[in-house]
């Protein structure tokens, strides 16, 4: 997708601070961190959200979870705790329409729930 910022990060056309990369997945620090540690983990393949995932995509979504486990260990938060979450659609606040998982850690996180 030529107009997708995360595809541009995958292609190296936009800069990012990477923390993890393999053949299918890349992870990099969020530009506007919502926690002391805020990493975005994405499949290199473009699809907009969980809604658009097809049978061939479940393996890479598993790879994203595996990357999260590895990132937690490498950043030293496996024991203290972390959250991995994806926003899908308007009510979840999805802004970038390339599937991504937020990896949040480094402090006690707010409970999940409905916005005020």
- Binding residues for ligand 5GP, rule: CB under 6 A, are 5, 14, 16, 28-32, 40, 87, 93-96
Q: What is the dihedral of CA 24, 27, 31, 34, to 10 degrees?
A: 120
Q: Can 46 be counted among the known catalytic residues? A: no
Q: Is residue 87 within 8 Å of 109, Cβ to Cβ?
A: no
Rule CB under 5 A: which residues touch Zn ion?
1, 4, 6-7, 46, 98
Q: How far is the CB of 1 from ligand 5GP (least distance, A)?
A: 14
Report the C-alpha gap between 35 and 104 in whole angstroms.
6
Residue 82 partner contact from ligand 5GP, Zn ion, none using kind-dependent CB cut-offs of 5 to 8 Å: none
Q: How far is the CB of 111 from ligand 5GP (least distance, A)?
A: 18
Q: Which is nearer to Zn ion, 11 or 22 (CB)?
A: 11
Q: Which residues are catalytic?
A: 100
């Amino acid at each position: 997708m030529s107009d997708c910022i995360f595809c541009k990060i995958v292609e190296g056309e936009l800069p990012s601070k990477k923390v993890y990369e393999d053949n299918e997945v890349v992870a990099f620090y969020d530009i506007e961190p919502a926690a002391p540690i805020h990493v975005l983990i994405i499949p290199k393949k473009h699809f907009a959200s969980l809604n658009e995932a097809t049978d061939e995509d479940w393996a890479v979504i598993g790879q994203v979870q595996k990357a999260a486990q590895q990132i937690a260990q490498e950043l030293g938060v496996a024991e203290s705790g972390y959250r991995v979450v994806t926003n899908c659609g308007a009510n979840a606040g999805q802004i970038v329409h390339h599937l991504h998982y937020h990896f949040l850690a480094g402090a006690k996180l707010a409970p999940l729930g409905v916005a005020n």
